[in-house]
Amino acid sequence: MIDRYSRPEMRALWSAESRLARWRDVELAALEGMVEAGLAPAAALADCRAKAGGFSAADVARIDEIERTTKHDVIAFLTFLEERIGPSARWLHLGMTSSDVLDTSLGLTLRDAATLLLAGLDRALAAVKSRAFEHRRTVMMGRSHGIHAEPITFGHKLAIWYDELGRARARLSRARDTIAVGKISGAVGTFAHLPPRVEAHVCQALGLTPAPASSQVIQRDRHAEYFTSLALAGSSIEKFAVEIRHLQRTEVREAEEPFTAGQKGSSAMPHKRNPILSENLTGLARLLRGYAVSALEDVALWHERDISHSSVERVIGPDATATLDFMLHRFAGLVEALRVYPEQMKKNLGLLGGVVASQALLLELARKGMDRQAAYVIVQRNAMKMYEEGVDFRQALLGDADLASKLTAAEVNACFNPERHLAHVDEIFERVFR
């Protein structure tokens, strides 16, 4: 992922130096397991530990140079270790296949990436919760099909977001557990040259779980679950961003992204304040869904393994995790600084002359003994006067003889009280936030 859409913490996790360090850790843990199993000398392990070291940019360049000849990244890495360590390096990778290193280290990387993502989700959850309680009783118009429906509160809207983000967190936490597996089972997963106890040692040392059964690779349904959970989280963020974009429209203007000192909205129109953060989140969510599809395509490999998944994962591993990481922190910052305009919300509540009280009136007429369909006709015909003639809905109702036979003026007026829509806000919050 380009630097513009990634944070340093996630970029560092996927750097070449970090990747090589994880390969080293897998190899050393495997050799340690071999020593414990009596399959390799302890002196070789001590020598390899002492000399393996870390990896600099110059080391990365040297390994790349070797790979240009070998056309094999793991062999290039092992050749480099032989140059650095000397004869003891021959005990590294004993009985192992490349995917033992690659898949186990990928499990480590995706696990650690998920930890960063969960921290980002926690920040987003905290931001949404704070603003939800701030606006628990800030009344605004609820909309369905983009049309005024009935009043809600802005806090209620945010409580829904919080609940959804909670599910995203639970999915990602499960996916982290699913992906945090390793394998040191050899060329086709049969442990033909190393016993399972070596794999168990490696996984315990690295904080992973051994894959119960593997071929040459860890099965890619695990990875598909992981990247799908990322895409779902991104899609939820896009949903929230689209809502912010709607609320920021000039004709609505109930909420607005922060507009900082010196910021410019348009090269041509100095007055513009555009929802660029939310639009950016929408675009990035599209990438995440594409990465998820690619991960699903990786599930079907030939026989015990082919490498059709390899090129895909080299791209989607760093890109998908960096993208969601960036999105989570951008969204959290957006919510933290979101401008909310309660007075504009109040103004918009009255745009349709009170017709949004139609259901309350319908139900009140039904309670008074009127047939529901007959009540519907009375309420609707008066509501349509507002649309077609600009007549105030409440005044139209009070002048309707059929309605007056069932409801007093006081009962009609009570149906327009927005407080009826706040009666259970606290209960909803208790259910969501507990």
Catalytic residue among 145, 267, 271, 303: 145
H and E: helices and strands count for the chain: 18, 6
Q: Is 266 a catalytic residue?
A: yes
Q: List phi, psi (to 5°) of 285.
A: -65, -35
Element (H, E) at 141: strand 139-144
Which region, left, alpha or beta, applies to residue 38 given φ > 0 means left and ψ of -120 to 50 means alpha?
left
How far apart CA 59 and CA 75 sit, in angstroms, is: 15
- Which single residue is written with the structure tokens 């480099």? 80
What radius of gyration do the chain's Cα atoms show? 30
Catalytic residue among 56, 72, 130, 266: 266
Token couple for 338: 């979101």
56 part of the active site: no
Q: Do 250 and 223 meet the contact criterion of CB atoms below 8 Å apart?
A: no
CA angle 161, 419, 338 (to 5 degrees): 35
- Name the phi and psi angles at 177, rounded to 5: -65, -40
**247 sits in which H/E element:** helix 221-248
Query: Catalytic site residues?
Result: 145, 266
